[in-house]
Amino acid sequence: MNKTNTQYDSIALQYRGLQMDYILELLRPTYVNLIGELEHKRVLDLACGDGYYAKLFCEKGAKGVVAVDISPEMIKLAEDFNGHESIQYVTSDVADLLGKYKEEFQVVTASFLLNYARSKEELTCFLKVIYESLKPGCRFIACNDNIKDDPSQYNEKIQAKYNYKKTLASSKTFRSEGDLITDEFYNDHIRCSITFPWLSPDTYDEALKTVGFSSWEWQDLHYNGSDNERKRYWEDFLLNPPIICFTATK
């Protein structure tokens, strides 16, 4: 069993209960803006979690959404809280979808999927599923652990300001391929942690090229609100953010 399954099964309810400000004010607006227009499009939503985005995609006019997660507990939450007649929820490891969908979708999304790949080979497998599921000329959009951030600049005081903690499993201030990273996120009532391996930007580039994507780009988070006080509040976070977005075109 993939360890991701057991991690999210054990924290599913807590994870859903965490409404982190950086998710609400930075990640979601950036991610949704990158996804763009969905009217009459079919969407494959990988690592769908509790189904928040799958339902949002339907509300934005998607023709239909297939939403996949490896965790049965997450899929149960999705069906209970974000069910919709245009969503098909599926419990599956993404790797097991290889060959299942052939150019069926105009959009493929993935929320914190790629950063769970344990090797270049597994990352390539995930990306191959995504590539073969897309129609030609269409796009893949993801949010991901920020593999480009600087571990030497992890600052506990700054992280505590935003209710998260990102650490290397070792005490190093630099990363090597496969090193484990732990993300903790919390509020006054709930604390969750997730551990995953780090793969380098070069490994991502090689995997994307191998499966055939024509172009790809890392996309930084932005605060797009009009509140200047909140804009100043997020300045420290955006100096070395733990999250990044990503787009690729078939």
In a domain, 44, yes or no: yes
| 203, 148 Cβ separation under 8 angstroms | no
In a domain, 140, yes or no: yes
Q: How many domains does the chain have?
A: 1
Alpha-carbon span 204 to 127, nearest angstrom? 10
Q: What is the DSSP letter of 189?
A: S
| 154, 167 Cβ separation under 8 angstroms | yes
In a domain, 69, yes or no: yes
Q: Terminal CA-to-CA distance of the chain, rounded, Å?
A: 31
In a domain, 192, yes or no: no
Alpha-carbon span 75 to 82, nearest angstrom? 10
| 185, 23 Cβ separation under 8 angstroms | no
Count the neighbouring beta carbons within 10 Å of the beta carbon of residue 212: 11
DSSP for 192-248?
A: EEEEEE---HHHHHHHHHHHT-SEEEEE------S-HHHHHHTHHHHHS-SEEEEEE
Whichever domain contains 108, its CATH number is: 3.40.50.150
Alpha-carbon span 52 to 84, nearest angstrom? 11
pTM: predicted TM-score of the whole model, two decimal places: 0.94
Single out the residue of 21, 12, 1 nearest to residue 164, CA to CA.
21
Residue-level pLDDT at 203:
98
In a domain, 207, yes or no: yes
In a domain, 189, yes or no: no
Helical axes 28-35 vs 52-59, angle rounded to 10°: 50
In a domain, 136, yes or no: yes
| 61, 40 Cβ separation under 8 angstroms | yes
Range of the domain at 239: 3-148+199-249
| Full pLDDT tens readout for the chain, 250 residues | 454 555 666 666 666 667 789 999 999 999 999 999 999 999 999 999 999 999 999 999 999 999 999 999 999 999 999 999 999 999 999 999 999 999 999 999 999 999 999 999 999 999 999 999 999 999 999 999 999 999 989 999 999 999 999 999 876 778 999 999 999 999 888 888 889 999 999 999 999 999 999 999 999 999 999 999 999 999 999 999 999 999 999 9
Q: What is the DSSP letter of 82?
A: S
Supply 91's token pair.
């419990």
In a domain, 43, yes or no: yes
